[in-house]
Structure 1
Amino acid sequence: MTIVRQNTLKTSVQPPETLTEKYIEAERMHDVLLLLQNLINSEEATVKLILDCLYDVGSVNLINQKLRLRPLNRVMKAIARMSKPVFRAIALNWFKKNCPQLITNWLHTQVTFKNTEDKPKEVAVKVEQLQPSYNSLQTETLTQEIKNLRSQVRWLAGISIVVIAFLGVTFLV
């Protein structure tokens, strides 16, 4: 049995007190946004240091994860160190433009307490298992066909190795 959520439509008019509270909430969250923007502008050196630390750790971890070859790994780490100033400029602009709003939205979700009435209702639905449409005869036929194809691949691989060896010997002599 599977549980499916059913959304209910709420069509209610909000009282004026709630509208006033919503307006004050929006205004205060806008104040938080402005304060975060001011903080980022006044503490730009701190933001640069944070971004440098994140770049150092993130670039090394990404290179170690994606490149297993040791010489190539070392070369990419050197390139990552040289590209750090470019990253810092781009990341600082992105941070100033996007992070105050992202942080404000996150903080707003932390101080917003959702009512339990807003949760969708759960409805029980019975789900039946589908039976395969093919029978055991078809399964045996497919299995035999796979075995035949595998043996043909082995024969072709063996013949190819023999021919390549013969041609190699012919060219060397």
Structure 2
Amino acid sequence: MTIVRKNTVNTTVSPSVSLPENSAEKYKEAERMRDVLLLLQNLINSEEATVKLILDCLYDVGSVNLINQKLRLKPLNRVMKLIARMSKPVFRTLALNWFKKNCPQLITNWLHTQVSFKNPQNTPQKVAIEVVQLEPYSIPQKQSLSQEIKNLRYQVRWLAGISIIAIAILVVTVTWLN
């Protein structure tokens, strides 16, 4: 099997894979990790169709979950899912370029941490937390806050309705012009 090096190959080496001058083992380790990086880049270039299918699956699952999590209104939820489906080709192009550029290095770094068998240095430290007793709101203050919340919810409903109508008009106009 031959590995073809392209001019656009990301040859940056992570800080954990630096080339030490005095240790032959570290040098060999860095060389082997560079080989892993080249092999991953070669794999991604030769299996581009597979990468596209993986990204499509991740986009389908991720976009639906994000929309369901952020948008509770059914009509707006459906419209956003439709928009997400239409924007999939743009995502695929951008994600593929990002994947080719960044993922071989990220995967190489992760694999290197897996085979280095070092104890993690990021042990969480205990942080002192100061607890402050809060005084409850007075009754008139609670009522004014409750009324303000109701007014804001009303405004959000209006804005959501206007947004849905505007998006629907935009979609109808675009389809009519085409």
Fold match by TM threshold 0.5 = yes
Q: Deviations over 1:96-137 (max 9, x none)?
A: 000000000000000002279x899xxxxxx9x99x9xxxxx
Q: Structure 2 counterpart of 1:65, which letter?
A: Q
Within-5 A mapping of 1:11-50: 16=22, 19-50=23-54
Match of 2:77 in 1: 73
Q: Which runs of 4+ in 1 moved over 6 A?
A: none
RMSD (Å) for aligned C-alpha atoms:
3.6
Match of 1:108 in 2: 112
Q: Deviations over 1:45-72 (max 9, x none)?
A: 0000000000000000000000000000
- Structure 2 distance, partners of 1:151, 1:69, is 32
Q: What's the TM-score, normalizing by structure 1?
A: 0.60
- When residues 86 and 153 of structure 1 are mapped into structure 2, their CA distance, relative to the original with a 3 A threshold, is closer
Task: Return the match for 1:58 from 52, 58, 62.
Answer: 62
User: As a proportion of its length, which structure holds more strand?
Assistant: 1
Match of 2:92 in 1: 88
- Structure 1 distance, partners of 2:67, 2:143, is 39
Q: What's the TM-score, normalizing by structure 2?
A: 0.58
Structure 1 unaligned segments of length 5 or more: list them. 1-13, 121-126, 133-138, 158-173
- Structure 2 distance, partners of 1:119, 1:69, is 41
Structure 2 unaligned segments of length 5 or more: list them. 1-19, 147-178
- Structure 1 distance, partners of 2:122, 2:50, is 41
Secondary structure of 2:24's aligned partner: helix
- When residues 61 and 23 of structure 1 are mapped into structure 2, their CA distance, relative to the original with a 3 A threshold, is same
Contact 2:21-2:27 at 8 Å conserved across structures: no
